[in-house]
Amino acid sequence: MRLSGFSILVPDYDAAIAFYCDGLGFPLLEDMDQGRKRWVTIAPAPGLRVVLARAEGAAQLAALQTPMGGRVWLFLQTEDFARDAARITKAGGLFEESPRHEPYGTVAVWRDPFGHRWDLIQPAE
């Protein structure tokens, strides 16, 4: 077995596509109308599929206030920290801290426009 994908809760399909695909450059794999919802998938890495799931109802909308209890839960690896930090910022991501230099590499926490906390990491050489 292997993990091939997961879903990420977003308030709006089009806003999520604009951020992740137009802003960050993740390929849009599918966008199919299913009546009251859409099947929208992106590919942030080869072989990994992320379903953009629109929040429905009070509980799911509330979950967007502190996804994963406010913890960093997504990790984006880069070969060029400065380039990709600028791309994230231009797309609408917000860095919560300046880059830190850790034994494993350069890292900083940022939030996407939907409240999800990420690490941007450039591994140490």
CATH for 14: 3.10.180.10
* Residue whose entry in the numeric block shows the structure tokens 């880059």: 99
One domain, residues 56 and 81: no
Distances (CA, A) of 118 to 67, 85, 93: 11, 12, 10
Helix (H) or strand (E) holding 84: helix 81-91
Structural domain containing residue 9:
1-65
Q: Taking residues 60-68, what's their average pLDDT?
A: 93
Counting every residue written for the chain, the total comes to: 125
Residue 58 has a pLDDT of 95
Residue 118 has a pLDDT of 98
Domain count, the chain: 2
Helix (H, G, I), strand (E, B) or coil at 123: strand
Q: Taking residues 89-107, what's their average pLDDT?
A: 98
- Per DSSP bridges, beta strands 105-111 and 117-123 are antiparallel
Q: Which of 48, 65, 82 is the last residue of a domain?
A: 65
